[in-house]
Structure 1
């Protein structure tokens, strides 16, 4: 046995490194199978040429754009003014321009339009009844108004007293120590006009770069007409967009969106083919609703700001709760240019699909065709090992 083992090692090395093996070819004179094989191969070749190479631009190397955007909003609106704590009060209207609703005035790749504002004037650090909206009813029982405990709305601390409501003297509520009057107990409600908001315009100025190709682009050309308005079919290159056109395509509750606020994405899709003139590359604008105003839990978007001032040695503040539309500008897409290596890789990956033709035809001949036994005998060789006896 040791002699056989010693001879096996050189034989294995010889067969591995010095013997060439190839696949046995079996010719089948069957026109139907041959035609099927060529049709499948032709379909695969068409898939490689039309889809992988042409449609998917497999002959190019790609890079995603990098860049930044700045937006400017223009428009003026008539804003309704209401006092929720005094329903019988006469409603008035004021005018909001960019300074009023563009808060904050500048963000990086984003901007905000205030649509609904709740303002509490002349707050001072003192004691006052809690707002009815806080639902801190006590009915002359001070057990729920435990002194020194913060209120659920975190607007102040309980004083331990039960007093008449500022909004309705027939109702008793807990007294608080904090910035008084409390928000919503003596606040003014301002809401923008939907009709005016729809006519606001957004001017987007974007610069992107494709560093691999040493190409820098802007969405504004030398011949840009700044009196244009963006339209997905009529004028795709215009950088000025009506807010109304954005809202109409969101398919959401617009009044709730105006009242509670929301988040909207403006996607700039740069699909560029740098085998042609780079000036033919410009973005498409897509609009997506990320946060709506009619969600059951935590709808919309809002934030609070306070402005402090002093009068007669007393510190006052003006508190504003602002709801609005936050627009986030994103940049996506890709730019491509011809590259020979990418072309060969695309063709090579497609050639691998050619084995499908042989697999389909072999399956038919071995398992389906009426002459399957004859084909199997010609294709498959059964080798039976011979038994040897050791001396």
Structure 2
């Protein structure tokens, strides 16, 4: 009988009305804060009614510009993007020396090398002087000589070079594709435009000096010792709005360390070589240690679009919050 009574019974909560201005005001304030949190933070700030996707991007660049120098030993020269260093040629595969020994014997192993050395040991122990012997190594000669950097960069006019950035992004979840070069742009426009945040914010051609200046750096100072400048392209978009509202946002920032108190190996440089053969068929090379500014293009972004599933989940969570402070 007890089980049957439980089956046919129905219970309701008892509601008590408290007529008190303080209690009523606190109750309505809590309800208001919950509604404000759901609408203001969950919906507007977090956009929790959307599903998100991360950007997939590809970038190509093309630099244009011409410089002129008139340096003692090199003479007058016009420099473009394919021709900007002419140090003297050096002969290849001659011999230099390391691993000195103050006696008549030195331990030389053919084919071995030292990470701080300059070549591969031939296995021969040869005279360096009348009293010193050394291991002979196969190496490029003469060795590189580090000298003090000049006060000004060689290509001071490079600050007026321009770079064309071609960037294509995809949000695969939404089948969304777009370029930073707008669909209505033609070749005539690209030949004369230059990026300016106010007058021409959609032009994909940037002047090097302007990018460095936006990073609060001086081009000539940075180019002398080298450095790394980040070109940041933000493709964060709300795809609930029309496509033309989704576009790149450019910013520039120096990426390498310039802290004067902890600045071991500052700046940026790299080595590369150009190879030649002389008239007597001897291979030579021009070794170039170049200091300059490296531009890293970094693309990032997240896109969101309305979806019914997260909308229902968040509306349900909001109703649950309200039910906790609402009368039964």
TM-score w.r.t. the length of structure 2 is 0.73
**Could you say which residue in structure 2 is the equivalent of 1:330?**
298
Q: 1:297 to 1:24 in 2, by over 3 A?
A: farther
State the Cα distance separating 1:39 from its structure 2 match: 2.0
Contact 1:120 1:184 in 2 (8 A): no
**Could you say which residue in structure 2 is the equivalent of 1:200?**
161
**Could you say which residue in structure 2 is the equivalent of 1:363?**
none
TM-score w.r.t. the length of structure 1 is 0.63
Q: Helix, strand or coil: the match of 1:299?
A: coil
Q: CA RMSD in A?
A: 4.1
Q: 2:277 aligns with which of 294, 301, 310?
A: 310
Does residue 342 of structure 1 match 2:310? yes
Q: 2:82 aligns with which of 99, 103, 108?
A: 99
Q: 1:160 to 1:285 in 2, by over 3 A?
A: farther
Q: 1:154 aligns with which of 102, 117, 120?
A: 117
CA distance in 1, matches of 2:116, 2:68: 32
Does residue 299 of structure 1 match 2:266? yes
1:81-160 superposed matches below 5 A: 81=71, 92-100=75-83, 119=87, 121-127=89-95, 142=102, 148=108, 153-156=116-119, 160=127
Gaps of 5+ in 1: 1-9, 82-88, 102-116, 131-135, 164-173, 359-391
Contact 2:108 2:135 in 1 (8 A): no
Deviations 1:130-185 (A, max 9, x none): 9xxxxx9x9xx957x9674967742246955159xxxxxxxxxx997532211117
**Could you say which residue in structure 2 is the equivalent of 1:166?**
none
1:217-228 superposed matches below 5 A: 217-224=178-185, 225-226=189-190, 227-228=192-193
Q: Helix, strand or coil: the match of 2:140?
A: strand
State the Cα distance separating 1:70 from its structure 2 match: 1.0
Gaps of 5+ in 2: none
Contact 1:120 1:187 in 2 (8 A): no
CA distance in 1, matches of 2:86, 2:257: 19
Deviations 1:290-329 (A, max 9, x none): 2246762233333322333333243322222233333222
State the Cα distance separating 1:66 from its structure 2 match: 1.3
Q: 1:187 to 1:118 in 2, by over 3 A?
A: farther
CA distance in 2, matches of 1:218, 1:94: 38
Q: 1:307 to 1:277 in 2, by over 3 A?
A: same
**Could you say which residue in structure 2 is the equivalent of 1:369?**
none
Aligned residues: 304
CA distance in 2, matches of 1:43, 1:80: 72
CA distance in 2, matches of 1:119, 1:146: 36
CA distance in 2, matches of 1:321, 1:28: 84
CA distance in 2, matches of 1:23, 1:160: 105
CA distance in 2, matches of 1:159, 1:76: 49
Q: 1:343 to 1:99 in 2, by over 3 A?
A: same
Q: 1:91 to 1:341 in 2, by over 3 A?
A: same
Contact 1:207 1:216 in 2 (8 A): yes
Q: 1:237 aligns with which of 191, 194, 202?
A: 202
Q: Helix, strand or coil: the match of 1:35?
A: helix
CA distance in 1, matches of 2:325, 2:69: 70
Contact 2:107 2:135 in 1 (8 A): no
CA distance in 1, matches of 2:126, 2:149: 26
State the Cα distance separating 1:248 from its structure 2 match: 1.4
